Structure 1
Amino acid sequence: MTRFLNDLRHFRRSAWEMLASVLIAAGVVMLMQPFALALYSWSFVITLLGTVMFIIVSHFPE
Structure 2
Amino acid sequence: MRALALNFTSTHQTENPRGFSEVGEDKQLLIAIVVARFFILSYKIYLYSLLRISSSPADMF
Band of TM-score, shorter chain: 0.3 to 0.5
Query: Which of structures 1 and 2 has the bigger CA Rg?
Result: 2
Identify which of structures 1 and 2 has the higher relative contact order when contacts are C-alpha pairs closer than 8 Å and 6+ apart: 1
Q: TM-score normalised to the size of structure 2?
A: 0.39
